[in-house]
Structure 1
């Protein structure tokens, strides 16, 4: 009998704690923001793309030049292979292999550098977005702001994405 009383008392206590927690959760002001949409719609995105394009433009042109040279050499080798001496053929094949290896090394380095620079620039934009979210949350009285992709459902009233886009865009 004592055990049943303890279980009943514990159950009542757990239920009251659960109802307090649900009441507190219902009172919490929670907003959501679609970070992906913000990143797509802010003007800084185009500025970053333009900046990175100009930053890597000479290296991209060099890669294109190497690719064209390799294609020309391969076509010439294929076309003239039957007329070439063994030494000329070996020399052309070796040059093509060297060009391909150099191209691969430079292409990998270019991709890594582009990825690194994009990450650096995106980190700066994410900081601006976070600052905007913090500012809006404080001014609107939100206790929590979640990423929209992490939420299964929300109503449009709790979505602050447009406000974030506007604030980040002003700070251009």
Structure 2
């Protein structure tokens, strides 16, 4: 019998669960990680690391727009062969722009994953220590809640502790 079926049977029989947690909190794990000093430093390092690649992508984007505009502007003024040559040039520039953007996005995602892998043990340690020191019985992911009182949210506290690590 799977869990849903068992839960349905229990509810149908009128049996209720009486689980009590004395101390409950919610935590936005991703929010805490992204609000940390380490994340801010990481964003700055990414900006520096990818500045040349981003500028190259912007330059390609400008070339794409210029080529497209040139085609639009001259399509009635040039020969069919010239128009075809311009369209081929546009396709080449556009394909390079797409490749460049995808490569940049892939590199950025890899760096972000590496950052998360690096930070995860620190974040887990901070969370475990906070749960232990504050005596929480239940910590729920903030994303899984519909409503929570502000005083039950420990995200800011986790950020503070993470910044001390």
TM-score under structure 1 normalisation? Answer: 0.70
The structure richer in helix per residue is: 1
**Structure 1 unaligned blocks of 5 or more:** 1-17
Question: In the alignment, does 2:83 pair up with 1:89?
Answer: yes
CA distance in 1, matches of 2:85, 2:21: 78
Match for residue 134 of structure 2 among 118, 127, 140: 140
The alignment covers a number of residue pairs equal to: 153
Distance in 1 between residues matched to 2:156 and 2:125, nearest whole Å: 15
Aligned to 1:162: 156
Secondary structure at the counterpart of residue 106 of structure 2? helix
Specify the structure having the higher radius of gyration (Cα): 1
Does residue 49 (structure 1) correspond to residue 78 (structure 2)? The answer is no
Q: Which residues in structure 2 correspond to 1:98-137 (within 5 Å)?
A: 98-137=92-131
SS of the equivalent of 1:142 reads coil
Q: 1:68 to 1:139 in 2, by over 3 A?
A: same
**1:68-87 correspondence runs (5 A):** 68-87=62-81
Q: Distance between the aligned counterparts of 1:158 and 1:103, measured in 2?
A: 47
Offset at 1:66? 1.0
* 3-state SS of paired residue (2:20): helix
Question: Counterparts of 2:150 and 2:20 in 1: how far apart (Å)?
Answer: 17
Distance 1:140 1:82, change over 3 A: closer
Question: What is the Cα deviation at residue 144 of structure 1?
Answer: 4.1
How far does residue 36 in structure 1 lie from its aligned partner after superposition? 4.3
Q: Is the 8 A contact 2:21 2:137 kept in 1?
A: no
Q: Does 1:32 align with 2:4?
A: no
C-alpha RMSD over aligned residues = 3.1
Unaligned runs of 5+ in 2: 1-14
TM-score, length-normalised on structure 2?
A: 0.72
Alpha-carbon contact 2:36-2:159 (below 8 Å) kept:
yes
Q: 1:89 to 1:43 in 2, by over 3 A?
A: same
